[in-house]
């Protein structure tokens, strides 16, 4: 077995404390995964599961469309042929996707993998300015984007052109009659779909052209013939451990092994008969690996929600499908617990839910179990680790913890000198295993900061107890976590500094009942007429909504160090004391 395919287990594996709490039958390591490359999965699963439903998208009004395992294989093959034989892309070319959850997504993703290209996940909430950064950095040859974002894309393309644009629709690949109804309502009644100001090809035409190439004898197997498991499969954009926007290079091996690690660890808790509610966006590393890849590999059924806000958008999905598994972030679970339609009629088939992306509140987990009669279990990961590093054993959950490392994963807490902390002591959480990224795309210096001697330095402060369960004590020093999404103050402050009337600014995260944390901006004005609404309106032109300051406070000055650096930590302490004073009052 070659090292590039699967590392040997650590020499000290027998001494790792968490192995004693592993579920029965779960090994310290894993066997060689079924696939070498991600493009091999769809043909194999088609042969095994054929006409069974793999993905179903359910709209808020209940209209839906589905794809079987066989259709995912056939259509993704057509898309691969379109990329390679119609557009002439070479192996390793980047293909970006910017769509909400829908049937287009898995077809494009598996098509890109079959084509031997690299998938670039782009948040649909990004503004044109944020899109420009990704386009200039990843240099995609193709972008697949939903038609509702045509105006935003047009603005981005003016500064950062992408050679080929493929437009999808909210109801792409739905039954024809349903697709026409949804399209008519969006385009003509709601006027949600602008006319594109750029050359583009509809996804249906791209698939038809690719299918013609396949029928004419295109050799799908040849597209990825030169790839190795260590070849990049996906560029996952993240703030990383230092807050600088960059892309984690996730290889075929990273992603395939991480799916295997997770599935081996949970065992029968995820079954072929499961119907998982996928409300988290598939471009997010959690949903991408656990839902789209993990449940698909298991032979289960993904129920895709294009937009879970408002939460009533999910009501028809619960009514139409026997949802047995839910993945999400704390805010999703907390929100559902505050919806009477959900609490009055909790899903009867639900057996397990998994939380990640942000801290799970113990009170939410307890109430969830009381209402649904099923556990809500927390895990931990980050984009740089494909993303899953830890998970609570399904039947030995330790509330408040992120669980124990997955098979073939080592985790330590270390002090500033790199010495391993004793159980119960705080330290930076570092990890190593075959799911850890190859590095950051075109960022060798940032890679050296994050990856040291084979270990990924997460920047999160944690503790380990005597049984090997880890608990996150504090997140990265300055990062703000809004509903599971990373917000970095430097990016927000850079936008604020462009606004006339802003002399100085600083951004921190504050507690928020709805989103876990909210962005708060402190501003020293040079123009006293500047108000909070003007600040927020300006930010919305440059930043996604979740990055826009929810709270704006004006100050005469900001705390600084001896060299003039603004001290965010002082602002956070002031907020903490202010909150304590308000509670006491």
Q: pLDDT for 562-581, tens place per residue? A: 445 778 878 988 887 666 55
**Taking 90 as the threshold, does the pLDDT of residue 52 lie above it?**
yes
Average pLDDT over residues 446-464: 93
Average pLDDT over residues 520-537: 95
Classify 414 in phi/psi space as left (phi over 0), alpha (psi -120 to 50) or beta: beta
Q: Concatenated DSSP letters for 441-456? A: TT-HHHHHHHEETTEE
258/255 Cα distance (integer angstroms):
5
Average pLDDT over residues 520-535: 95
- At 309, is the pLDDT very low, low, confident or very high (cuts 50, 70, 90)? confident
Q: Give the residue among 206, 244, 251 at the shortest CA–CA distance from 228.
A: 251
Q: With b meaning 16 or more CB within 10 Å and e meaning fewer, what string describes 53-69?
A: bbbbbbbbeebbbbbbb
**Taking 90 as the threshold, does the pLDDT of residue 301 lie above it?**
yes
**Structural contact between residues 511 and 481, judged by C-beta atoms closer than 8 angstroms:** no
Average pLDDT, the chain: 91
Beta strands 410-414; 427-432: pairing state: antiparallel
Q: Give the residue among 343, 333, 469 at the shortest CA–CA distance from 401.
A: 469
> Does this model's pTM top 0.75?
yes
% of residues, the chain, pLDDT over 70: 94
pLDDT reported for residue 518: 94
- At 12, is the pLDDT very low, low, confident or very high (cuts 50, 70, 90)? low
pLDDT reported for residue 41: 98
The torsion angles phi and psi of 403, rounded to 5 degrees, stand at 90, -155
**Taking 50 as the threshold, does the pLDDT of residue 5 lie above it?**
no
CA dihedral 436, 440, 445, 446 (to 10 degrees): -70
**Taking 90 as the threshold, does the pLDDT of residue 418 lie above it?**
no
- At 184, is the pLDDT very low, low, confident or very high (cuts 50, 70, 90)? very high
Q: For residue range 364-411, what is the model confidence (pLDDT) as tens digits? A: 899 999 999 999 999 999 999 999 999 999 889 999 899 999 999 999
349/142 Cα distance (integer angstroms):
41
- Of the given ranges (23-27, 140-144, 529-533), which has the lowest mean pLDDT? 23-27
Q: For residue range 224-282, what is the model confidence (pLDDT) as tens digits? A: 999 999 999 999 998 655 555 799 999 999 999 999 999 999 999 999 999 999 999 99
Is the preceding peptide bond at 55 cis, omega within 30 degrees of 0?
no
Helices (H), 39-103: 41-49, 69-81
pLDDT reported for residue 31: 85
Q: Which CATH superfamily is domain 485-584 in?
A: ANL, C-terminal domain (3.30.300.30)
104/549 Cα distance (integer angstroms):
32
In the three-class reduction of DSSP (H, G, I as helix; E, B as strand; rest coil), residue 501 is classed as coil
pLDDT reported for residue 581: 52
- Of the given ranges (216-225, 323-332, 427-436, 488-497), which has the lowest mean pLDDT? 488-497
% of residues, the chain, pLDDT over 90: 76
**Taking 70 as the threshold, does the pLDDT of residue 454 lie above it?**
yes
pLDDT reported for residue 585: 46
pLDDT reported for residue 78: 98
**Structural contact between residues 517 and 547, judged by C-beta atoms closer than 8 angstroms:** no
pLDDT reported for residue 563: 42
Q: In 10 A of CB 293, how many CB atoms?
A: 24
More confident residue, 342 or 309: 342
Average pLDDT over residues 434-438: 98
pLDDT reported for residue 3: 38
- At 513, is the pLDDT very low, low, confident or very high (cuts 50, 70, 90)? confident
pLDDT reported for residue 486: 79
52/54 Cα distance (integer angstroms):
6
């Amino acid at each position: 077995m070659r090292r590039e395919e699967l590392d040997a287990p650590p020499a000290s594996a027998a001494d790792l404390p968490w192995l004693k709490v592993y579920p029965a039958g779960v090994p310290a390591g894993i066997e060689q995964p079924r696939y070498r490359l991600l493009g091999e999965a769809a043909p194999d699963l088609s042969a095994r599961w054929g006409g069974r439903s793999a993905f179903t998208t359910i709209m808020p009004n209940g209209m839906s469309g589905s794809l079987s395992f066989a259709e995912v294989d056939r259509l993704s093959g057509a898309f691969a042929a379109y990329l390679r034989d119609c557009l002439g892309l070479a192996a390793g070319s980047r293909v970006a996707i910017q769509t909400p959850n829908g049937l287009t997504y898995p077809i494009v993703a598996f098509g890109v993998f079959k084509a031997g290209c690299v998938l670039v996940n782009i948040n649909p909430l990004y503004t044109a300015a944020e899109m420009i950064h990704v386009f200039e950095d990843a240099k995609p040859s193709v972008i697949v984007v939903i038609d509702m974002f045509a105006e935003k894309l047009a603005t981005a393309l003016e500064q950062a052109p992408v050679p080929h644009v493929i437009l999808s629709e909210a109801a792409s690949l739905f039954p024809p009659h349903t697709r026409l109804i949804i399209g008519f309502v969006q385009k003509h009644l709601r006027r949600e779909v602008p006319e594109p100001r750029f050359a583009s090809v509809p996804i249906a035409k791209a698939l038809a052209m690719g299918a013609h190439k396949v029928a004419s004898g295109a050799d799908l197997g040849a597209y990825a013939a030169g790839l190795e498991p260590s070849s990049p499969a996906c560029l996952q954009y993240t703030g990383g451990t230092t807050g600088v926007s960059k892309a984690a290079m996730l290889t075929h091996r990273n992603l395939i092994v991480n799916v295997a690690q997770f599935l081996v660890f949970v065992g029968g808790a995820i079954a072929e008969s499961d119907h998982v509610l996928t409300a988290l966006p598939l471009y997010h590393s959690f949903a991408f690996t656990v839902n789209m890849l993990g449940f698909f590999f298991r032979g289960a059924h993904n129920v895709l929600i294009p937009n879970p806000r408002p939460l009533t958008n999910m009501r028809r999905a619960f009514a139409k499908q026997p949802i047995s598994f839910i993945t999400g972030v704390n805010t999703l679970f907390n929100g559902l617990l505050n919806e009477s339609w959900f609490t009055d009629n909790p899903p009867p088939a639900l057996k397990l839910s998994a939380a990640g992306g942000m801290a799970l509140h113990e009170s939410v987990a307890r109430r969830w179990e009381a209402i649904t009669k099923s556990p809500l279990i927390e895990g931990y990961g980050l984009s740089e680790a494909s993303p899953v590093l830890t998970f609570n054993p399904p039947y030995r959950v330790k509330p408040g913890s992120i669980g124990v490392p997955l098979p073939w994963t080592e985790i330590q807490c270390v002090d500033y000198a790199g010495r391993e902390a004793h159980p119960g002591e705080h330290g930076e959480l570092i990890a190593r295993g075959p799911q850890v990224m190859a590095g950051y795309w075109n960022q060798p210096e940032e890679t050296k900061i994050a990856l040291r001697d084979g270990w990924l330095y997460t920047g999160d402060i944690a503790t380990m107890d005597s049984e090997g369960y880890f608990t996150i004590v504090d997140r990265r020093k300055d990062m703000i976590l809004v509903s599971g999404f990373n917000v970095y103050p430097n990016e927000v402050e850079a936008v604020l500094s462009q606004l006339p009337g802003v002399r100085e600014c600083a951004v921190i995260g504050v507690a928020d009942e709805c989103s876990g944390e909210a962005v708060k901006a402190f501003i020293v004005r040079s123009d006293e007429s500047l108000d909070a609404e003007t600040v927020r309106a300006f930010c919305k032109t440059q930043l996604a909504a979740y990055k826009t300051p929810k709270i704006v406070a004006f100050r005469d000055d900001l705390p600084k160090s001896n060299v003039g650096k603004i001290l965010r930590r002082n602002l956070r302490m002031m907020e903490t004391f202010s909150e304590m004073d308000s509670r006491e009052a």
